[in-house]
């Protein structure tokens, strides 16, 4: 993980209002990113286990995996008895998810910044959003759509970049919502990825404005296997915040302010 953070720090460049869509970014290196995601410390032994722990029992539940990538989390939820629909902005990543999951999940190409017209009101019990919201400049439109397609009392489980990590890497005012880009090297393939950094108060304000109550906030530890396979990454993940996890509960109505 220390090596990853050093790579991130070297690759960080502030592009102001530069346009770079997540679809184009991940189409650049979908296969290479997926191969790394399957086995690395950060995703396989830290982020995904934390998401599954926050989800709890999903057996028999209708789950919308928003930003499903190549389907690793979706597959884990299917194994636990969920019925899964996946949304993914990158056509290349969506193809990989379909190859992985076959007929067991419905995978559609969709942009979370746009209305989710393919999803009916009140059609899901649970929504997962794994490391996806930080690609959006504004969270409220997506969260309000999540509220619309959830049943009353439905939950959203999401992970995002920890705001202090991004601030330490990019500098500037912690309280600004600002765009930044990083150059990643995954399995020999280099690609530039662009995110939106925001403070914790902005995250909480977006949840409240969209009709959600916060049930849990988690800064997890990696699983024990990480210490054996990736000791340096384990040391980093257990000493500095990387990602921040929320479990949200849908209120009876979506706020508009």
> Residue 9's pLDDT is what?
32
> Residue 254's pLDDT is what?
65
> Residue 222's pLDDT is what?
97
pLDDT tens-digit readout, 171-228? 899 999 999 888 888 888 888 889 999 999 999 999 999 999 999 999 999 999 999 9
Structure tokens belonging to residue 73: 């989390």
Determine the Cα–Cα distance for residues 31 and 42; give it in Å rounded to an integer. 17
* Better-scored residue on pLDDT, 48 or 168: 48
Average pLDDT, the chain: 90
> Residue 45's pLDDT is what?
97
pLDDT at 117 over 50: yes
pLDDT at 20 over 80: no
Nearest to 130 by CA among 224, 223, 50: 50
Domain boundaries, the chain: 2-250
Nearest to 127 by CA among 249, 255, 257, 232: 249
> Hey, is 61 helix, strand or coil?
coil
What is the pTM assigned to this prediction?
A: 0.89
pLDDT tens-digit readout, 48-71? 999 999 999 999 999 999 999 999
Residues in the chain: 257
Structure tokens belonging to residue 85: 């629909």
Average pLDDT over residues 106-127: 97
Percent with pLDDT over 90 in the chain: 75
pLDDT tens-digit readout, 122-158? 999 999 999 999 999 999 999 999 999 999 999 999 9
41: pLDDT confidence band, cut at 50, 70 and 90?
very high
Give the residue ranges of DSSP H helices in the chain: 2-11, 22-28, 30-39, 41-42, 48-55, 72-79, 91-101, 140-149, 163-170, 200-209, 224-229, 231-237
> Residue 23's pLDDT is what?
81
pLDDT tens-digit readout, 85-98? 999 999 999 999 99
Q: Look at 10-19, 30-39, 169-178, 243-252 and tell me which has the smallest mean pLDDT.
A: 10-19
Q: Does domain 2-250 have CATH number 3.40.50.150?
A: yes
pLDDT at 166 over 50: yes
pLDDT at 257 over 60: no
pLDDT at 15 over 50: no
> Residue 255's pLDDT is what?
59
């Amino acid at each position: 993980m220390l090596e990853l953070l050093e790579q991130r720090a070297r690759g960080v460049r502030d592009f102001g209002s530069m346009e770079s869509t997540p679809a184009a970014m991940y189409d650049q290196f979908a296969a290479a990113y997926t191969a790394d995601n399957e086995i690395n410390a950060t995703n396989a032994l830290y982020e995904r286990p934390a998401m599954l722990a926050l989800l709890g029992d999903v057996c028999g539940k209708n789950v919308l995996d928003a930003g499903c990538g190549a389907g690793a989390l979706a597959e884990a939820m299917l194994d636990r008895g969920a019925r899964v629909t996946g949304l993914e902005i990158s056509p290349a990543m969506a193809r990989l998810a379909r190859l992985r999951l076959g007929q067991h999940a419905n995978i559609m190409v969709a942009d979370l910044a746009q209305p989710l017209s393919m999803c009916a009101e009140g059609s899901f019990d649970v929504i997962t959003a794994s490391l996806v919201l930080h690609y959006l400049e504004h969270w409220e439109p997506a969260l309000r759509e999540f509220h619309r397609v959830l049943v009353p009392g439905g939950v959203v489980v999401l992970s995002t970049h920890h705001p202090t990590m991004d601030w330490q890497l990019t500098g500037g005012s912690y309280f600004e919502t600002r765009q930044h880009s990083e150059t990643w090297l995954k399995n020999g393939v280099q690609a530039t990825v662009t995110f939106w950094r925001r403070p914790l108060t902005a995250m909480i304000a977006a949840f409240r404005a969209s009709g959600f109550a916060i049930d849990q906030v988690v800064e997890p530890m990696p699983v024990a296997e990480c210490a054996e396979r990736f000791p340096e990454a384990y040391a980093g993940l257990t000493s500095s915040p990387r990602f921040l996890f929320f479990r949200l509960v849908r209120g009876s109505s979506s706020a508009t302010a």
